[in-house]
Structures are given as structure tokens and as C-alpha cells.
Chain A
Amino acid sequence: MTLLEARRIEKAFGRTRALRGVSVAIGSGEIVAITGPSGSGKSTLLHCLSGIMCPETGEVHYDGRRIDTLDEAARTRLRREAFGVVFQFGRLVPELTAAENVALPLLFGGNGREESATVARAWLERMDALDVADARPGELSGGQLQRVAVARALVTGPKVVFADEPTGALDSVAGERVLGLLLEAARVNGSTVVIVTHDNRVAAHADREIVVRDGAAAGVVV
């Protein structure tokens, strides 16, 4: 069953045409890698699929609903309720501890402080990062940062996890660990995962690869 779909979407930044009519369909529970050389538009495709930005033409559907025509507030709600995001370098709030960073989405969702902290710690434990729960991001290694970031993305039990080069800043052993934990947790959750990467070994963790070249899907490789 198709959960997330882009139909002939186009997006330009000034004169640069980042996406030129991309169509992709992603099934529920699938783990998909979007690959392509740098500048191919793969990050832009992820931003459009996740409702962070809207394409100029074409349609984006999630769970049978068209989302590119929704207003910012509705898309924000959708991202909060159904999506989780992981980016390169963690992008954690530097002043908060690891546990508070993970609890943040729960707090924004209106949950209590203690309750959120308990859930956050449980997730840190699953990500093998409970030992750094009270450390600030500045004190963490790259691999620890990403594991905390993964915990933050999964803590709300999202339907889809979007990861943009989640292991880009890590060496291969640390990267593999992060990826393994992310995919394992996503499988347990039943979450769909969309990973943008230029690393073939990361792509090999996915069930399927979508190759983006010059802003177009160059053949969906099954």
C-alpha cells in the first residue's frame, strides 16, 4: 500500500531547477534510500515529501491526502504527528541535555515534564545512549549525537522517519551502528524510513533505492 507519493513534482531555487518532474511512491513500512550525486536534488525531494517545503507544480500525497496544498499550520501539525526527522550533525539544541533534547517533541506535544523525561530515557536506552543522558551536545561524539538525534526523531512514534545523510559525518563503524539502531527501531515501530544518502553502503541497508539524477528519478531500482 502506497503511503507517500510524489507526482511529477518540480521545484526551482531562482534559476536552478532542483527538481524536474520527479515521481516516486513509497509503501507503508518500506525502507527507501534516495541516492544521487551531490546537487542532484535529493535533499529537496526529501523536503518536499516531508512537507517542509512545497513543490511549484505536481502533487504530494500522504496517506491518501494531498499535503502540498495544505497551509503551513496544517503541514506543521502533520510533521509533528506523523513524521520524524534526522539530519547530519544531530542538530540538537546545544543548551539542553541529551535527555531533554529527546523529550522536547513530547513537551511540544503537551506532555508533562516527568512523563516526557521517562519516555526520553527509555528511548536513549534503546539507542544505547543512556550513559550520556545528562550530557550536553557539545560533550558528545558524532556517533552519540546521531544516536540522540535518532531517539528524538522516533520518540513520538512517527509513521515516517526522514533522514538526510544521517551518517554523513561519521566513520563507517559509528555510522553503521547509528543506522542499525535507527532501522531496527523503525522496524519495531512499523515506521516507514526515507534516507537521503550518497553512500552506497548506507543505501544497501534499504529495501529499495530511488536514484535521483539532475532533478529527476532516473529509474526506480527495485
Chain B
Amino acid sequence: MLDRLFIECIFACMSTGHILLGLLTERPKHGYELKREHDDRLPGVKPIAYGQVYATLQRLERDGKVAVSGTAKEGGPERTVYEITGDGADEVHRWLAEIEPPAPYVSSALFVRVVLALIAEGTADGYLLRQRAAHLERMRELTARKNTAGISAGELLATDYALYHLDADLRWLETARQRIDELTQEIRT
């Protein structure tokens, strides 16, 4: 049973291909433009490498989701401009119609520490308080960032997302503290 709970941390399989296709629905764009828009519009998502943009575009072109529509030259080197195909547009809309699987997300690292603290030290109280302090400190930083002037709406939402997840962890920690006796018993038997 415990093994089942140690579910591997599920990283949301965010497909770069879908993101690029989505950005292309506005108008044809070249690779550098796509990288810049990716990073600007999705703050909080790991910045994408230019090489990855290029590779993904080539894969999409091979699958017939995008096509080369011309070249652009704005001061710098000449760049290939891609446009989305009918297939590609269908793919984006199909993808948007899906939902993210609401995975049974267990913050495995926290859980492992609580269990090991109970096994090795007989109490998890100290750990829970320290973890709470660390979480709250991070939440304070994020809150402060939210309160800085001129923050974009996108950044605000991304920060909120992080805050809500930290908050969920904290509430789980508090519940863990209240359930610690049951857990101790379960581990000892």
C-alpha cells in the first residue's frame, strides 16, 4: 500500500509542440519570435532553448502540422517563418479540448521525510515546524513579488499557482501533525 503512495512525482507532460502550435495560431512566426513569446507569455514555465524550438519545428513540419511560409529579415540574419497548417490547427484544438489528468499528486519528498523522521527520531514535530517555516518563507517571497509594482497579469497568475501549491503543502503538513499519532502507530506495528 505504501508503495502505491510513493507515486513518482508526475511532471506535467507539457508538450512543447502544442505550445508552439498554439502560439502559431495567431499568425506565422519565425523560431526566435516563438522562443521569445514562449518565455514572455508563460512566466514560471522553464525557459525554452532555441535549439529545442528549432528541433520541434522541424518535427512538426515533418508531421505536416506546420509549413514554411517564407523568410523574414529584420536587421539581423534571415529567418525562416512558419505557419500552422489545417492539420496543425486541428491538433491544437483537440489538445485544448482535453484536460490535465488530476493526478494523485503526493509530494513524495515531504512524505518520505515525515515517515523517516518518525522511524529514525521517533518524532516529526521539529521537522514539520522547520518545513513550515521554509515553505512560509518561500510564500513570503512570492507574495512580495506579487506586490511589486508593474507585475504582469501572467506573472501574477503564475505566482498564484505556486502560492496555492505551497499552501496545499502547508495544509497537508498541518494535517500530518494532527494525524501523526495514527501514523506512528501504523509504522510501529
Q: Which among B56-64, B68-76, B81-89, B170-178 touches the partner chain?
A: B170-178
Check A204 against B129 for contact (C-beta < 8 Å): no
Q: Which among B6-14, B92-100, B109-117, B131-139 touches the partner chain?
A: B131-139
User: CA–CA, A16 to B25, complex, Å?
Assistant: 64
Check B139 against A221 for contact (C-beta < 8 Å): no
Bin chain B's interface residue count: 10 to 19
Check B129 against A201 for contact (C-beta < 8 Å): no
Check B163 against A201 for contact (C-beta < 8 Å): yes
Interface presence of A76 (CB below 8 A): no
Check A200 against B136 for contact (C-beta < 8 Å): yes
Q: Which chain B residue has the least Cβ–Cβ distance from A205?
A: B143
- Measured between C-beta atoms, what is the minimum distance from A219 to chain B in Å? 5
Q: Give the dominant DSSP class at A's interface.
A: mixed
Check B129 against A203 for contact (C-beta < 8 Å): no
User: CA–CA, A203 to B135, complex, Å?
Assistant: 11
Check A204 against B136 for contact (C-beta < 8 Å): yes
Check B178 against A37 for contact (C-beta < 8 Å): yes
User: CA–CA, A33 to B174, complex, Å?
Assistant: 16
Residues of chain A having any CB pair with chain B under 8 Å: 37, 180, 200-201, 203-207, 209, 211, 218-219, 221-222
Give 7 closest A-B pairs by Cβ, nearest first: A204-B139, A221-B133, A204-B143, A200-B170, A200-B167, A204-B140, A219-B129
